[in-house]
Structure 1
Amino acid sequence: MFKATNEFSNSIYGIFKATNDIHNAINGIVKAIHSIVNGLENGMNGLNNTINGIKNAIYSINNSLYCIDNAINNLKNAINGMNTSLYCIYNSINGLQNAINSQNSFTNQPSCFFTIQLRVFTN
């Protein structure tokens, strides 16, 4: 009878120990799930930060492209202004050459601006 009671007691202890082991295993699973959730949250935060960084980089690129576009337009305007100035210089040179040719036709002198200027002032 004592042996049977002892075995029964050992069985109850085994049940309690198995129940405790199951409880510990469930706690381990819950902790693992919390770790997974925290990892996912951290990963999502990291992904959001990465996406925001990419968005900011794209905005920066767009701003740079806008600046480049403005610079190109300014360059075009400067080139057009330079072309206009060169055209004016060309016309001035042609006018000067015509004046020299006209003066030379009256004086039969070599084409020399300094001489022409002197003749203009001394005539």
Structure 2
Amino acid sequence: MTIQKHSGWMMEWTSYLHTAVGLILFWKPLSDMVKAGVWNSVDQSFEKMAAIWFLFFGVLMWMIGRMMRWMTKEKSLVIPRFVGWQMLILSVVGAIIMPISGFWLAIPQGLYIIRKF
């Protein structure tokens, strides 16, 4: 259990980094959306859609990281190994499809969860 207590923090910091990179990479389309009033401002722009999905995925990672911290710290639960396997598989496939990406950061996190205690 003690090794997993860091898993939530690792996922949260990955989400912070992911969101910061998203804000930098997609600053222009995001600022255009704000200027347009936000409501229905994505249109059919691939760049705007990618920006939203990028940022929303960062929020999803943050939520998962918070849940993992709650599980390990507040409830003294072990993160199931299947979570580590799923994270590992998703990250390896993502890294193969898109080698210049942050998927590489989640590979050690998946292995960290799978590791025996």
- Asked whether the two chains share a fold, i.e. TM above 0.5, the reply is no
Ranked by relative contact order (alpha carbons within 8 Å, sequence separation 6 or more), the top structure is 2
Taking structure 2 as the reference length, what is the TM-score of the superposition?
0.27
Report which of the two has the higher share of helix. 1
Taking structure 1 as the reference length, what is the TM-score of the superposition?
0.25
Larger Rg: 1
